[in-house]
């Protein structure tokens, strides 16, 4: 029988227990609607537990904070000291069972054993897991251990679990070096228990500016919201002259410098804008000092200034000492670390194996998070190369980093390599895995120009005009897709829809049997995902074009795991109405039925009859679509565009798109007001389209 709960535990700090909890929760949340997170013991009931706070916030769990923990350490140790361990266990079981009855799955996370009395004759986490009937996941850190010591720890932990009557689910060994991993893989191949190995990823252990703000009580003097999560690789104290100090700064350094050292400050500002020096992460002024007004005035006049400046009350020595003791945290706004952590988990773990061992019976419910996780999983399973021509937009660079960290796709950026690198380093990003192509000086230019010229010379295109076209980033990127140098393209953050679609129509062209390019939005409501088409491209399609939009939209829905039930929308249902607009929809429906008799489709139909079963029973009682439609085809752009925006704004739905359909190869358009998350989702969708 499959389990409905798991218990995750680690004996030491920084072993990676939260990382494993995150990975397991994402596996659960992409399959199950209601998942609970529970910590039987927390450090202090007077303060918010950080892991609970993160898990509820990031995964949007439908659970109250007070339901997510049992008791604090003080209460637990008092019960144990008074020989009331059985009462304590029963109290915890009662709280756990209440969650198990209410939720599809309960993911439990133990407390570090170092927090508990060393006199306990047993592992309390294991004892609790045993009484919960929860299979046990133990997390072991390989940091600062020899490969032999890690191997022995694995054997000891598993022997301890067996001796206490627990059920072993898996062991996660985290922070492994290449040599340790090779040693363990050889040693463990003879053992019959599941072990997953996660590499050491340096950035996951790096302190962020948010950590400094919280731990030191630092005051932000210059700090943008996006800079809170910048990583700090080292700490430097400016105790030398400027001439000598500049030789010692490195990328992502935090520099502690008294605010009256204007020479050092000016030198650091110069280094920030110079390609010959590293990009530091932050400046910290000790003694609660402020820079000279003229320095402040100078900084305020700098364009695209991205260097955070903080101040602290302590002196230089105390500040450096305190920073050295700060521990890194993953927070709800730590987009980069979250992407890195989940990317590491999914690249190291057999998720299919885990799903087979846990209770993940899928329901008809599909939340926005579930849909997003499915996008990532589908894209990562068949990784494709996506070209992003708008590398001069900060949102594109931030999205590209997340895509790379999550392992969703390979990325090509179009732009001058030196300039792109300078920009992303100044933003504190890591895009070292992205390929950067300077299209104007690329060796591909001649091939692309000639190909485009041959393709369109019959229409009067000259070689000079073909060359001019390829100087436009969208034309160049589209040609990369056409000739197989990339699998898909995403553009539109700073270009119009026409600028994105026009090259695709001229170069990629439509699929065989498809005469019209159209679009859909995935409308992610609270518990389901609907497909809306066409809300972005075709202004007033004919009946034949509307039929093609319906067929393409149904195909797109099916590609993303949505069994299409198509509603051809109009202002009347069935035979009740008449007029040119209704007749167009009626005719389009008949064309679809002729071309694909197996497709479930209804039209003309009003929106309420399409989504509401009670209305459907009155208006179309024998319909297999009415009341259950999930693909909605709007009669014109005016209706579709206004409807999707009305639904998006009035119901807080997440609208993903527009997703273009009908092209031979995937090209997708972004809204110029898109967010980083929108870009990430669109790249994932494009990668999935390319894989199919």
For domain 512-662, which architecture applies? 3-Layer(aba) Sandwich (3.40)
What mean pLDDT is predicted for residues 383-406? 94
pLDDT at 11: 78
CATH assignment of 207-324, among 3.40.140.10, 3.30.360.10, 3.40.1390.20, 4.10.910.10: 3.40.1390.20
pLDDT at 367: 80
Q: Which are the contacts of 451, defined by CB distance < 8 A and separation ≥ 6?
A: 479, 482, 483
**pLDDT at residue 576 tops 80:** no
Q: Comparing 207-324 with 512-662, is the CATH topology the same?
A: no
Query: What number of other Cβ atoms are within 10 A of residue 551's Cβ?
Result: 24
Rounded to whole angstroms, the Cα distance separating 254 from 309 reads 10
Beta pairing class for 529-533 and 518-524: antiparallel
Percent residues over pLDDT 70 in the chain: 97
**pLDDT at residue 520 tops 90:** yes
**Range of lowest pLDDT (165-179, 289-303, 462-476):** 289-303
Taking only the tens place, the pLDDT of each residue in 638-652 is 999 999 999 988 888
Question: Which tokens hold the place of 594?
Answer: 């002729």
122 pLDDT band, cuts 50/70/90, is low
291 pLDDT band, cuts 50/70/90, is confident
pLDDT at 595: 93
- Name the residue with tokens 């490969």: 147
**pLDDT at residue 619 tops 60:** yes
Domain limits, the chain: 5-202, 207-324, 512-662
pLDDT at 360: 62
Rounded to whole angstroms, the Cα distance separating 676 from 339 reads 13
Instruction: Break the chain down into helix, strand, coil percent, rounded to 5.
Output: 45, 20, 35
**pLDDT at residue 403 tops 80:** yes
Q: Nearest to residue 92, comparing CAs of 39, 168, 167?
A: 39
pLDDT at 118: 59
What mean pLDDT is predicted for residues 72-93? 91
pLDDT at 552: 94
**pLDDT at residue 542 tops 90:** yes
What mean pLDDT is predicted for residues 539-554? 94
**pLDDT at residue 60 tops 60:** yes
Rounded to whole angstroms, the Cα distance separating 165 from 122 reads 12
Taking only the tens place, the pLDDT of each residue in 460-479 is 889 999 999 999 999 999 99
DSSP string, 2-50: -BSEEEEEESSTTSSHHHHHHHHHHHHHTT-S-EEEEEEEES-TTS--H
Q: Nearest to residue 66, comparing CAs of 99, 90, 100?
A: 99
Rounded to whole angstroms, the Cα distance separating 89 from 80 reads 10
CATH superfamily of 5-202: P-loop containing nucleotide triphosphate hydrolases (3.40.50.300)
**pLDDT at residue 333 tops 60:** yes
DSSP string, 475-534: HHHHHHHHTTS-SEEEE-SSS-HHHHHHHIIIII-BPTT----EEEEEEE-SS-EEEEES
**Range of lowest pLDDT (420-434, 570-584, 656-670):** 570-584
- Judge if pTM exceeds 0.95: no
pLDDT at 1: 54
18 pLDDT band, cuts 50/70/90, is very high
pLDDT at 361: 60
């Amino acid at each position: 029988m499959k389990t409905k709960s798991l218990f995750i535990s680690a004996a030491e700090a920084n072993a990676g227990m939260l990382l494993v909890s995150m990975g397991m929760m994402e596996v659960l949340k992409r399959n199950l609607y209601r998942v609970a997170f529970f910590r039987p013991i927390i450090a202090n009931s007077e303060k918010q537990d950080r892991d609970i706070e993160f898990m509820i916030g990031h995964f949007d769990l439908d659970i109250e904070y007070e339901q997510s923990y049992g008791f604090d350490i003080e209460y637990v140790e008092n019960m144990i000291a008074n020989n009331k361990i059985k009462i304590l266990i029963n109290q915890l079981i009662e709280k756990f069972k209440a969650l198990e009855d209410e939720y599809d799955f309960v993911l439990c996370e133990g407390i570090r054993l170092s927090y508990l009395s060393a006199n306990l004759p047993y592992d309390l986490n294991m004892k609790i897991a045993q009484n919960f009937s929860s299979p046990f996941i133990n997390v072991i850190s390989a940091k600062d251990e020899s490969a032999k010591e890690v191997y022995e720890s694995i054997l000891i932990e598993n022997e301890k679990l067996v001796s206490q009557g627990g059920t072993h689910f898996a062991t996660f060994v985290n922070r492994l070096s290449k040599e340790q991993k090779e040693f363990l893989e050889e040693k463990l191949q003879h053992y019959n228990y599941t072990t997953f190995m996660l590499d050491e990823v340096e950035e996951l252990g790096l302190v962020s500016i948010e950590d400094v703000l919280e731990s030191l009580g630092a005051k932000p003097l210059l700090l943008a919201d996006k800079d809170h999560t910048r990583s700090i690789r080292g700490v430097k104290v400016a105790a030398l002259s400027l001439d000598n100090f500049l030789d010692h700064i490195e990328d992502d350094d935090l520099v502690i410098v008294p605010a009256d050292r204007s020479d050092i400050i000016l030198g650091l500002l110069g280094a920030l804008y110079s390609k010959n020096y590293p990009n530091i992460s932050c400046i910290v002024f000790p003694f609660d000092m402020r820079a000279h007004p003229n320095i402040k005035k100078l900084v305020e006049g700098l364009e695209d200034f991205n260097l955070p400046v903080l101040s602290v009350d302590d002196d230089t020595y105390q500040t450096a000492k305190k920073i050295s003791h700060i521990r890194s945290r993953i927070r709800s706004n730590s987009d980069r670390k979250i992407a890195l952590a989940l990317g590491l988990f999914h690249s190291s773990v057999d998720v299919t194996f885990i799903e087979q061992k846990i209770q993940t019976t899928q329901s008809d419910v599909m939340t926005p998070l579930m849909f997003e996780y499915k996008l990532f999983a589908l894209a990562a399973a068949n990784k494709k190369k996506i070209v992003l021509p708008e590398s001069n937009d900060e949102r594109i660079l931030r999205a590209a980093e997340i895509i790379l960290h999550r392992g969703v796709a390979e990325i090509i950026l179009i732009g001058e390599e030196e300039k792109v690198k300078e920009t992303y380093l100044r933003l504190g990003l890591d895009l070292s895995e992205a390929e950067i192509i300077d299209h104007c000086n690329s060796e591909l230019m001649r091939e692309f120009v000639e190909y485009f010229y041959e393709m369109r010379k019959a229409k009067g295109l000259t070689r000079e005009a073909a060359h001019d076209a390829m100087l436009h980033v969208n034309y160049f990127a589209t040609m990369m897709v056409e000739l197989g140098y990339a699998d898909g393209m995403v553009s539109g953050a700073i270009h119009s829809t026409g600028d994105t679609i026009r090259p695709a129509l001229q170069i990629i062209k439509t699929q065989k049997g498809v005469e019209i390019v159209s679009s859909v939005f995935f409308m992610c409501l609270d518990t389901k995902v609907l497909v809306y088409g066409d809300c972005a491209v075709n202004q007033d399609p004919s009946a034949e074009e509307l039929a093609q939009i319906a067929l393409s939209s149904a195909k797109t829905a099916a590609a993303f795991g949505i069994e299409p039930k198509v509603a051809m929308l109009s202002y009347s249902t069935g035979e009740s109405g008449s007029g040119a607009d209704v007749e167009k929809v009626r005719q389009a429906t008949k064309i679809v039925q002729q071309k694909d008799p197996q497709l479930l489709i209804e039209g003309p139909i009003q929106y309420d009859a399409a989504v509401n079963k009670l209305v459907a029973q009155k208006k179309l009682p024998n319909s297999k679509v009415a009341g259950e439609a999930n693909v909605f085809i709007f009669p014109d752009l005016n209706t579709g565009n206004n409807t999707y925006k009305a639904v998006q704004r009035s119901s807080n739905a997440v609208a993903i798109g527009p997703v273009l359909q009908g092209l031979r190869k995937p090209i997708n358009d972004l809204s110029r007001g898109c967010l980083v998350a929108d870009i990430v989702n669109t790249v994932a969708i494009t990668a999935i389209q390319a894989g199919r």
